[in-house]
């Protein structure tokens, strides 16, 4: 099983991007409890973040690079069985490539993105301020640090069960 983690969201939206700590804990859980390979995606703003995360286990966590062309990026996304991302260009790329997607939403509306007959599983925090469309936030906890690695891990396992011929163990 190949799991893609898009760790970025551009500089415009602070909270379309999940936390570094969340990604780190999720990767460790996946490495300890499954045989999955993890591919890291992001742009130039995520270069250092993805280099750091790739060092957790250099054989099973692969940094796909941060300066890929759009064509290269789509090609790299096509390698995934499950793609995890915020509400970003990467979400739309994974949808177009018919990948199973787990998408987390905070300041933007999950209702504005179709589920494409179950292709997308949406994760949202349980906060009253969701869908605020603010570019910055001073709430604590905020929408993205309210999403837990355990929540995403359980969703990955459930999503993996829906992919014919693929197993996560």
Residue listed under structure tokens 């936030």:
137
Helices (runs of H) and strands (runs of E) counted in the chain: 5, 6
pLDDT in tens, 37-74: 999 999 999 999 999 999 999 999 999 999 999 999 99
Cα distance between residue 55 and residue 84, in whole Å:
19
CA nearest to 151, candidates 117, 131, 121: 121
pLDDT of residue 116: 77
Cα distance between residue 37 and residue 62, in whole Å:
8
CA nearest to 65, candidates 82, 37, 41: 41
- Angle CA 116–9–38, to nearest 5: 75
The pTM score is: 0.89
Question: Is 81 or 107 the better-scoring residue by pLDDT?
Answer: 81
pLDDT of residue 11: 67
* Packing angle, helices 70-77 and 89-96, rounded to 10: 60
Secondary element (H or E) of residue 149: helix 149-160
* pLDDT over threshold 70, residue 8: yes
């Amino acid at each position: 099983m190949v799991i893609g983690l898009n760790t970025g969201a551009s500089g415009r939206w602070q909270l379309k991007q999940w936390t570094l700590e969340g990604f780190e804990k999720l990767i460790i859980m996946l490495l300890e409890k499954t045989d999955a390979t993890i591919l890291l995606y992001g742009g130039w703003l995520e270069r250092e973040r993805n280099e750091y995360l790739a060092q957790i286990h250099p054989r099973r966590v692969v940094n796909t690079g941060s300066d890929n062309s759009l064509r290269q990026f789509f090609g790299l996304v096509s390698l995934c069985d499950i793609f995890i991302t915020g509400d970003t260009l990467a979400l739309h790329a994974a949808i177009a490539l018919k990948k199973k997607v787990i998408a987390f939403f905070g300041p933007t509306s999950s209702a504005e993105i179709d589920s494409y007959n179950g292709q997308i599983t949406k994760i949202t925090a349980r906060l009253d301020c969701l869908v605020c469309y603010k570019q910055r936030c001073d709430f604590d906890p905020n929408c993205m640090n309210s999403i837990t690695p355990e929540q995403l891990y359980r969703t990955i396992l459930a999503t993996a069960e829906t992919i014919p011929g693929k197993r996560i163990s």
